[in-house]
A and B are shown apart, each in its own frame.
Chain A
């Protein structure tokens, strides 16, 4: 079974998140789980709540949920993010991620997806206070 901690370069992914969050208030995070049964999208939403991300003041959290064993992933946004970004944005981000995943570089996929969604979030939820 794939070791979720080795699946991507966690350091690079974390750096991408930190870079993206310098421009936006919205929290971005990534879960990689070795295997789940059932609907990945539903599991991703569940993870977003369970991680406490839905407590962000603007309800604007974005969560990438990856299941390597099923070669599936989901990008989910909380209600605030969805209201402003819309379905088109998710489809675009998912396509970017998918392209790199298919090319066999999941780290690059997540980094690119984080950068892309970070730009969208920065437009709608710009950072108000310096970190």
Chain B
């Protein structure tokens, strides 16, 4: 009788410890996940900032330089692909959506850099105040993208390290796709960093 009571007590204590460990793990993952999410919002916001610059850029270039239409049409198309992207906090948990996001954004990056190469041929356009302001904003935005991507990767890495360490890895799967491994940004093939806009 007495021994039975002790056994039940011991069981309760063990269960309580397990449950507490589970809670602690869950809370730690939630905190790290929130860091990843807020950093992801920053990433989306800087990309959006770049997308917002494009109509102005295209119209400025169109008005001043009567060159091959295909260059700025390509930019506009890449821009609209970016506009159709699925956004939101679920993207870092979903490798397929993430890959789509990165592909569309990288597509816009390369369309933009082709446009800017072409602009080199038009010194009159380059000399206007309007264009040099746009150029500064574009440069700044590309730099912000690089910074926020780097910070996102770091946050994702911290999350993944915790998630995949023992014993968290044994329970992380129980909490649903929210605690999937986060996807990183990868450098574009052939370039070490985000595409540099050269002027």
Q: Indicate if A touches B (C-beta under 8 A).
A: no
